[in-house]
Amino acid sequence: MLTTNKKILAAADKGGYAVGAFNVNNLEIIQAVIETAVEEKSPVIIQTSEGAIEYAGMDYLLAMAKIAAKAPVPMSFHLDHGKDLKVIKRAIDAGYTSVMFDGSVLPYKENVAKTKQVVAWAKKKGVSVEAEIGAIKGVEDLVSVSEKQAFFTDPDEAARFTKATGCDALAISIGTAHGAFKSKTTPELDISRLKKIDALVKVPLVLHGASGVSPAMVERLKKHADVLQDGNRLSGAVGIPDEQIKAAIRNGIRKINIDSDLRLAFTAGVRETVVEDHKTIDPRKWLALSKSLMKETVRGKMRLFGSSGKA
């Protein structure tokens, strides 16, 4: 059933677990996420970036989300990293149940003013708002923050920002990064900073850039590297270890964004099918393995985050 991030995250806060927010771009990804949520009896957040909207169109994504929301688990449909106020307003009016305004690289005052504008639009329609303070490094199509622009969230500023804007959830920067190349060494989250933020900020906290970049999936992706002449594409790929995700949840993280892990699973499936089943001309066969690898990825996250069995 379709609900808001605010309701899903309030329940997570009470239960001490986190809910996965999965980036979707097409039918197969949406199906993989919602089918797994039903199998795991887990609440779920399905989110589209502005890049996904450019790719598939807001109307198509919304129509698919509405059908997915018929599933018997709480599901929210969220706009991820909204930067363009026109797109955000359109999403609120069209039926998204939650939107993010990402003003993380704007000057503080401008971030507050624009977030407040989004909150005003959203409140009228019962839509939840996620905002961001602190900037998370990494590059993913339209979401791009350079090493120089990135900075960790200041706990006092986070508290002031949340009060000033009236946002329902807050994305923070504590050492994660967007994309499959998060760091030169194993990333380490700043858990003591998270504890301080959690003590001062009353709304649920959100962790972006949280993919694990499983070595097993990276290996699977490299399986036919020789045939595809693409051996080194993922060398140096590194994600956030499961133990650090668990520590983040223990200390107040309630929404966890996952995109890169789905991209890896999707691509591993396509590459394997192209090499091992290349005679097929049935388009339905090209994405079947991708869908099942994405389902196993989503299942792993729901179990890791503690949301399985909570719907």
Residues within the interface to ligand 13P (CB under 6 A): 23, 80-81, 140, 178-179, 208-211, 257-261
Provide the 3-class DSSP secondary structure of residue 2: strand
Provide the 3-class DSSP secondary structure of residue 11: helix
Terminal Cα-to-Cα distance of the chain (whole angstroms) = 10
Q: Got the DSSP string for 83-127?
A: --HHHHHHHHHHT-SEEEE--TTS-HHHHHHHHHHHHHHHHHHT-
Strand-strand pairing, 137-140 and 143-145: antiparallel
Which of ligand G3H, ligand 13P, Zn ion, none does residue 114 bind to, with CB < 5 to 8 Å depending on kind? none
- The piece of 28-36, 107-115, 137-145, 289-297 that touches ligand G3H (CB under 6 A) is 137-145
Buried b (16+ CB within 10 A) or exposed e, 83-120: beeebbbbbbeebbbbbbbbbbbbeeeebbebbbebbe
Query: Which tokens in the block code for residue 292?
Result: 């099942």
Question: Would you count residue 150 as binding ligand G3H (CB under 6 A)?
Answer: no
User: What is the smallest separation between the CB atom of 29 and ligand G3H, expressed in angstroms?
Assistant: 11
**Angle at 219 (CA atoms; ends 217, 225), nearest 5 degrees:** 125
- The piece of 68-76, 112-120, 123-131, 134-142 that touches ligand G3H (CB under 6 A) is 134-142
Q: Which of 13, 59, 80, 154 is catalytic?
A: 80
Question: Would you count residue 234 as binding ligand G3H (CB under 6 A)?
Answer: no
Provide the 3-class DSSP secondary structure of residue 14: helix
Which of residues 119 and 171 has its CB atom nearest to ligand G3H in the complex?
171
Q: Got the DSSP string for 242-298?
A: HHHHHHHHHTTEEEEEE-HHHHHHHHHHHHHHHHHSTT---HHHHTHHHHHHHHHHH
**Angle at 52 (CA atoms; ends 240, 262), nearest 5 degrees:** 35
Summarize as ranges the residues that interact with Zn ion (CB under 5 A). 208, 257
User: What is the smallest separation between the CB atom of 275 and ligand 13P, expressed in angstroms?
Assistant: 26
The answer to whether 80 is a known catalytic residue is yes
User: What is the smallest separation between the CB atom of 282 and ligand 13P, expressed in angstroms?
Assistant: 30
- Site track 78-107 with ligand G3H (rule: CB under 6 A), x = hit: --xx--------------------------
Which of residues 97 and 260 has its CB atom nearest to ligand 13P in the complex?
260
Among positions 52, 112, 135, 145, the unique one binding ligand G3H when judged by CB under 6 A:
52
Which of residues 187 and 252 has its CB atom nearest to ligand 13P in the complex?
187
Which of ligand G3H, Zn ion, ligand 13P, none does residue 51 bind to, with CB < 5 to 8 Å depending on kind? ligand G3H
- The piece of 48-56, 229-237, 284-292, 299-307 that touches ligand G3H (CB under 6 A) is 48-56
CA distance 142 to 163: 28
CA distance 261 to 301: 10
- β-bridge partners, 205: 170, 253
Question: Would you count residue 225 as binding ligand G3H (CB under 6 A)?
Answer: no
Question: Would you count residue 178 as binding ligand G3H (CB under 6 A)?
Answer: yes
Catalytic residues: 80
Contact residues: ligand G3H, CB under 6 A: 23, 49, 51-52, 80-81, 140-143, 178, 208, 259
